Structure 1
Amino acid sequence: MQSALPPDPRVQLGRIRFRRAVALMMMTLVLPGSAQLVAGSKRTGRIAMRIWFGVVASALLLVLLSLVSHTFAFWFVTNGPLGLLRLVLMALAVGWAYLFVDAWRLGEPLSLHQKQRLAMVGINGVLCFSVAGALLFAAHVVNVNKDFMATMFASTTVSDAEDGRYNVLLLGGDSGADRWGLRPDSITVASIDADTGKTVLFGLPRNMLNFPFKKGSVMAEQFPDGYNCGVQCELNSLATWANDHKALFKGYDNPGVEATTEAVEGITGLKINYWAMVNLKGFQKMVDAVGGVTLKVRDRIPIGGVGGPVTGYIKPGTRKLDGFHTLWFARSRESADDYSRMARQKCVMNAMLHQLSPKTVVMKFGAIADASTELISTNIPASEVDRFVPLALKARSQPIRTVSFVPPMVNTGHPDIAKIRRAVQNAIHPKKAAKSTKAAKSGGTVSAAPRNQGTTGGAIGSLRSGYAANQASDLGAAC
């Protein structure tokens, strides 16, 4: 028998050099600067490791502060030093990529075999592009968030909670932030408990007539006996009227919103803290950005109609709808009435609140921010966003209460304003309402979703009996 040939020292040396080169790359991945400290410029290694430990310590401190105080976390994301954070992430990306290239150099690639050199180039490329790419993407997300906050929440006027609640007027229509003036399809007040986040949605019909304005307001001076403009004096016509009389609204950036706000305050007796205008066409893009929304479609919902042809239908069933179909679910009036449509709109609001998780927001923030700039215009200042975000998260875990001032509760042509205001107070102070038999007789209480009731226009209930989603103590159960 022939004895085995001794291993070639050159092959063994090549393997050792290759393992050393790979080790230097992995050291740079795990502990940037360690490769230089072992095999290169010790000064460069020490500087890199000090920076790395400083970044890790800062990140851990931020995480600990965020765990201790969610308020701090929301402040940092919405109002923190985002510009500085973006620069830090970009610098880390460039510095780390440099360390990878230097570690590749320290591995003496020219002393390796051809296949080993190619492998090292591949490893170095993957690590450089992966790590630097991730950091640069993070810097991009931070920049998107920074621009989004600056664009969306440009106001600086802060409004304090009234009676322990923030009241936000939500207006939905076809006009964008730069051309508000078309009549809104949807008028809702979200009244949010400043401590618990518990929310009540007050729905006002767009066709309400003969309503008063807040005392001392611009519109109250023009219509001291209530809104009587001579023709089509409906609630949703205020935006058009105000924009035709802009001279009356000196000092207001948006006369249409101001006039509508003064009417809503006069009708409900609530102080409106902030407003948000939702462009319903931008809403379609928003739903697509979050991957759709799941809704229970109770009847066949026409797409189109009322002045145009019906081009299709949304079929009944529990369905995950894209932006186009969600928009038509909320807007369709064919084979329905305004009040069933209001009920469906409330169901969309409820679904968006409970289905839009923080994880989804983080993962798809860029698309959401891009859609939101076309979707919403608001006067909520950036300094208050970190207050409303935790309130929204609290609201997600609780049922939403709804009260809509529509038939049969309210005659929209001749609304009983005193009754409406009692209903508002009963809804935001349910414990007081439950103790008061007088309040119970006023019609201001709301019940859970009706059971075993038919549907009209995709909403539980009818025009005669009322729609469940318009008057419910648990909106989710009514949808």
Structure 2
Amino acid sequence: MRRERKKKKWLKWLLIGVTILLLSIGAYIFTVYQSLNTATEKMHEPIEREASKKRTEQVKFNEQDPFSVLMLGVDERDDDQGRSDTMIVMTVNPKEETTKLLSIPRDTMTEIVGKGIDDKINHAYAFGGIPMAMDTVENFLDIPIDYYVQVNMEGFEDIVDAVGGVTVSNSFAFDYDGYSFPEGELTLDGQKALSFSRMRYEDPDGDFGRQERQRQIIQGVVREGASINSLWNYGNIFNALGNNIKTNLTFDEMVDIQSEYRAAASNFEQTSIQNGYGERINNVYYYIVPDNEIQSIQASLKDHLDI
């Protein structure tokens, strides 16, 4: 009888402990959800732009439609809106479980849609902000650009620090901004990651080398941000994201992407425009992409978007 009472008492305290644990987890999840919702509201910045003529139907995340995002790294300035020195097009295909990152050299010569001139592709942002940049990249690649993510590069180091730093693979040793970057695997804090991603003049591959380092940093942020360790630092992460990122993705759309596209987000493929050449026109340097090269890239992206 005494043994049975002890057993019931033990079960009682076990149930109380489990209940408290579940309530604590529920409160924690609710707090995380509220913080994420606040951050995404701060990040959300819709744009006035006509619907893409390259899509017949709007992307449906609940049906796992492939979609594209233009990622812009912008150095914001006091006297103007700055230049989009980093331009990366991300395409996501959940059926193939792959995400492709295509870096576009900032000096690429193309038509600036809405301006009526041929110029460097990164000037589209300076001329007409996000809408003109999206329209110009969409015309250049001949694919729909569904969404954008704009990152303030000056604040990017806050994002890297918030996820606890990133690990990258450095192909050659170099010094930049007062930092030394030896060859091999490196763990970088925010300031070092920003410097690592900006160096290009000492790189034998020039802007292509810089693009590859930028993609590594982005992948590192995604990888660390998705790790279990980041759950305990969600406040700093969400705050850094809210302060330094703008996007036309809504909170609900981000939740849908996290739910429906998780496998694709963990499998990155890096691509770049390699077969172009530099040329000076009216004493200005441009990067010229031959027709056969751009057609090959367009075909690859269309295939990945199931177009």
Structure 1 length normalisation: TM-score?
0.51
Q: Corresponding residue for 1:403?
A: 271
Q: Corresponding residue for 1:332?
A: 199
Q: Corresponding residue for 1:145?
A: 36
1:200 pairs, out of 97, 100, 122, with 100
Q: Corresponding residue for 2:5?
A: none
Higher strand share: 2
Q: Does 1:365 align with 2:234?
A: yes
- Per-residue CA shift, 1:423-460, capped at 9, x if unaligned? 23235538x9xxxxxxxxxxxxxxxxxxxxxxxxxxxx
Whole-angstrom CA distance in 2 between matches of 1:137 and 1:368: 16
1:173 pairs, out of 57, 74, 94, with 74
Aligned runs of 1:238-253 on 2, under 5 Å? 238-242=124-128
Give the match's secondary structure for 1:201.
strand
Give the match's secondary structure for 1:401.
strand
Q: Corresponding residue for 1:308?
A: none
Q: How much does 1:156 deviate?
A: 10
Q: How much does 1:369 deviate?
A: 0.2
Q: How much does 1:188 deviate?
A: 0.7
Larger Rg: 1
Q: Corresponding residue for 2:251?
A: 382
Aligned runs of 1:43-442 on 2, under 5 Å? 140-153=31-44, 155=46, 159-160=58-59, 164-175=65-76, 181-209=81-109, 211-212=110-111, 219-220=113-114, 222-223=115-116, 227-228=117-118, 233-242=119-128, 256-304=129-177, 311-336=178-203, 337-390=206-259, 393-398=262-267, 400-408=268-276, 413-417=287-291, 419-426=293-300, 429=303
Tell me: CA distance 1:179–1:352, structure 2 relative to 1, closer, same or farther (3 Å).
Answer: farther
Whole-angstrom CA distance in 2 between matches of 1:194 and 1:397: 11
Q: Which amino acid aligns with 1:369?
A: F
Whole-angstrom CA distance in 2 between matches of 1:206 and 1:154: 24
Higher helix share: 1
Identity percentage over the alignment? 21
Higher relative contact order (CA 8 A, sep 6+): 2
8 Å contact 2:40–2:242 — kept in the other structure? no
8 Å contact 1:410–1:416 — kept in the other structure? no
Tell me: CA distance 1:136–1:354, structure 2 relative to 1, closer, same or farther (3 Å).
Answer: closer
Tell me: CA distance 1:415–1:365, structure 2 relative to 1, closer, same or farther (3 Å).
Answer: same
Whole-angstrom CA distance in 1 between matches of 2:131 and 2:291: 20
Gaps of 5+ in 1: 1-23, 33-51, 60-88, 90-130, 214-218, 243-255, 305-310, 433-479
Gaps of 5+ in 2: 1-8, 52-57, 280-285
Q: Which amino acid aligns with 2:235?
A: G
Whole-angstrom CA distance in 1 between matches of 2:248 and 2:79: 16
